[in-house]
């Protein structure tokens, strides 16, 4: 059901814009697992609401600015609906694991969109997201820590590093796994993941352990450490130039413990 706290005419426009939401719920249940929350209502707030949408169990909050008259605003609803499985049902343990909420939700959103609105619309969504991801990687080029899926935020205001990266790099990571093992197997994995961790808060390490257990060899097939962001090995740095070392050291987390850094001095 659609509710509106904005102007009266908004309610009718919202009902028309979001007419396909019931089909989205059915698509989500078919892809992931039965919807656990009973109802799925939409509340359209005044334009001053500062987000496109905000997921909540039972009721999603929306801004009326997503109502475009052509049904495309329903993609925002698809995202918030996807949180019913990835975000509300399984939640990231810390903000450093934020990608577990948003990367999974971007993947789930696009799978729902593909079912309801077609492959072309879903592919367009992916393309727009890719552009945003590249823009934010460029934005953080002087601090690559914040381009990692899991990054260190001990002395960082999360608002200062909010970006597309946990959303879009998280999506790309999951999409890469799907392409490696095939969609049918990845769908089975996803349903098992949701069934295993529902109503829990988890971190990246728990997910990776579960992934390795259920997809043997995946860490070699797609180089998990590279995706997540790892310290370079001796083989990686064997032929680094002075400038490469300088760039690497400048971008180490400012809160690194001495025990985390091994300095090797080469004396001629």
Distance CA 261, CA 161 (A): 24
Distance CA 136, CA 168 (A): 10
Neighbours of 118 (CB within 10 A): 11
Task: Let me know if 167 is a catalytic residue.
Answer: yes
Q: Which residues pair with 4 in a beta bridge?
A: 44
Burial 227-236 (b: 16+ CB within 10 A, else e): bbeeeeeeee
Which of the following is catalytic: 55, 109, 114, 167?
167
Burial 163-197 (b: 16+ CB within 10 A, else e): bbbbbbbbbbbbbebbeebeeeebeebbeebbeeb
Task: Let me know if 96 is a catalytic residue.
Answer: no
Which of the following is catalytic: 17, 80, 114, 178?
80
Distance CA 143, CA 151 (A): 11
- Is 83 labelled as part of a ligand binding site? yes
Two tokens at 62? 């929306």
- Is 164 labelled as part of a ligand binding site? no
- Is 119 labelled as part of a ligand binding site? no
Residues making up the annotated binding site for Zn(2+) are 79, 83, 102
**Residues at the annotated binding site?**
79, 83, 102
Which sequence positions are flagged as catalytic?
Answer: 80, 167
């Amino acid at each position: 059901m659609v509710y509106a706290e904005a102007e009266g005419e908004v309610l009718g426009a919202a009902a028309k814009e979001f007419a396909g939401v019931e089909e989205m719920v059915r698509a989500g249940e078919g892809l992931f697992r039965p919807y656990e929350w009973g109802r799925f209502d939409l509340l359209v707030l005044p334009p001053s609401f500062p987000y496109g949408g905000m997921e909540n169990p039972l009721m999603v909050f929306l801004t009326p600015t997503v109502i475009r008259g052509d049904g495309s605003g329903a993609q925002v609803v698809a995202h918030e609906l996807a949180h019913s499985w990835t975000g509300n049902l399984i939640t990231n343990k810390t903000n450093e694991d934020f990608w577990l909420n948003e990367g999974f939700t971007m993947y789930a959103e696009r799978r729902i969109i593909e079912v309801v609105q077609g492959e072309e619309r879903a592919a367009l969504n992916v393309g727009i997201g890719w552009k945003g991801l590249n823009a934010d990687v460029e934005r953080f080029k002087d601090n690559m820590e914040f381009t990692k899926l899991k990054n260190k935020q001990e002395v960082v205001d999360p608002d200062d590093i909010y970006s597309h990266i946990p959303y879009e790099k998280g999506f790309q990571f999951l999409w890469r796994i799907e392409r490696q093992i095939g969609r049918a197997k990845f769908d089975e994995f996803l349903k098992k993941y949701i069934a295993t961790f529902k109503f829990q808060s988890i971190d990246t390490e728990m997910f990776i352990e579960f992934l390795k257990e259920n997809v043997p060899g995946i860490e070699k097939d797609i180089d998990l450490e590279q995706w997540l962001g790892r310290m370079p090995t001796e083989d990686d740095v064997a032929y680094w130039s002075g400038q490469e070392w300088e760039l690497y050291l400048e971008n180490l987390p400012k809160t690194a413990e001495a025990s985390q850094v091994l300095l090797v001095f080469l004396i001629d």
